[in-house]
């Protein structure tokens, strides 16, 4: 463990093995830092009220504020949480808030995520594994990004939006409806424009799965059918598989409606 003498560490903090805390960091409250994690400098970590848990081998860059109170007028200092997994990179000037009682009480970030400079992850957001959020993109409260989602720079995601796995959000997009898995979405307001073929190929999806997904995406995005009519066509015309089952269930369960 290597803690710079200029840093201030809460007596309630739990610090693992081989943790590096650089100069002028502040670790507040009930904060747990997993083995091998590195706070570079000028990092604010934790909250006077909430609980923050970091897994192993995370890297947090200068001037980030991770685990601060939610920016929600209803929050009254309840002991909510931020839980971050392993092997994440959080770059300069990122802000991530703990959860609220009304949103399940927890903000969660999975493993192997990259959150670039100036990004914001608000209260009660749920990020899966291998998520990338590019510079200056902003997530409102209760946003869900499933595994392998990529968000380009300068994007804004409205509260309660859900983005399915392997979806890609193009730069300078405003997202106010759910984005189906495996798709590329862009615009203000963002709409799904194509299948994320390159992402699926890189992830090892079969040619047959990609063709079925692409057909389903085209049925949803290119036609004038209702969602119910599109679902009926997809189940008749597309070869079903675990990937397609997930696609269909995501579409059926969308609470905000999909961006078509």
Query: What is the DSSP annotation of 57-80?
Result: S-EE-TT-EEEEPPS-TT--S---
Cβ within 8 Å of residue 118, ≥6 positions away = 92, 93, 94, 135, 136
**What is the separation, in whole angstroms, between the first and last Cα of the chain?**
51
Q: Which residues are catalytic?
A: 123-124, 141
Distance CA 26, CA 98 (A): 17
Cβ–Cβ < 8 Å for 43, 60:
yes
**Residue 125 three-state SS:** coil
3-state secondary structure labels for all residues of 164-231: CCCCEECCCCEECCEECCCEEEEEECEEEEEECHHHHHHCCCCHHHHHHHHHHHHHHHHCCCCHHHHH
Greatest CA separation for the chain? 66
Question: What's the token pair of residue 184?
Answer: 């590329």
Question: Can you name the residues that pair with 169 across neighbouring β-strands?
Answer: 151, 185
**254: burial class by Cβ within 10 Å (0-12, 13-18, 19+)?**
middle
Q: Cis link prior to 122 (omega < 30° from 0)?
A: no
Distance CA 90, CA 96 (A): 10
């Amino acid at each position: 463990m290597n803690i710079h003498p200029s840093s201030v560490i809460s007596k309630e903090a739990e610090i693992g093995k081989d943790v590096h805390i650089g100069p002028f960091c502040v670790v507040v409250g009930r904060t747990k830092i997993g083995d091998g994690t590195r706070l570079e400098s000028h990092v604010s970590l934790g909250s006077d009220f909430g609980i923050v848990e970091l897994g192993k081998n995370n890297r947090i860059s200068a001037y980030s504020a991770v685990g601060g109170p939610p920016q929600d007028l209803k929050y009254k200092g309840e002991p909510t949480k931020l839980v971050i997994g392993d092997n994440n990179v959080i770059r300069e000037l990122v802000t991530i808030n703990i959860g609220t009682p009304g949103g399940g009480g927890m903000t969660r970030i999975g493993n192997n995520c990259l959150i670039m400079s100036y990004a914001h992850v608000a209260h009660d957001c749920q990020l899966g594994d291998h998520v990338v959020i590019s510079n200056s993109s902003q997530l409102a409260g209760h946003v869900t990004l499933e595994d392998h989602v990529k968000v380009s720079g300068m994007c804004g995601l409205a509260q309660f939006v859900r983005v399915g796995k392997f979806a890609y959000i193009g730069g300078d997009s405003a997202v106010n409806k759910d984005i189906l898995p495996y798709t590329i979405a862009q615009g203000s307001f963002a709409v799904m424009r194509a299948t994320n073929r390159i992402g699926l190929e890189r992830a090892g999806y079969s040619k047959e799965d990609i063709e079925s997904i692409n057909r389903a995406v085209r049925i949803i995005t290119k036609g004038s059918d209702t969602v119910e009519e599109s679902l009926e066509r997809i189940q008749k015309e597309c070869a079903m598989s675990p990937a397609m089952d997930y696609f269909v269930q995501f579409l059926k369960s969308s609470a905000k409606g999909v961006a078509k």
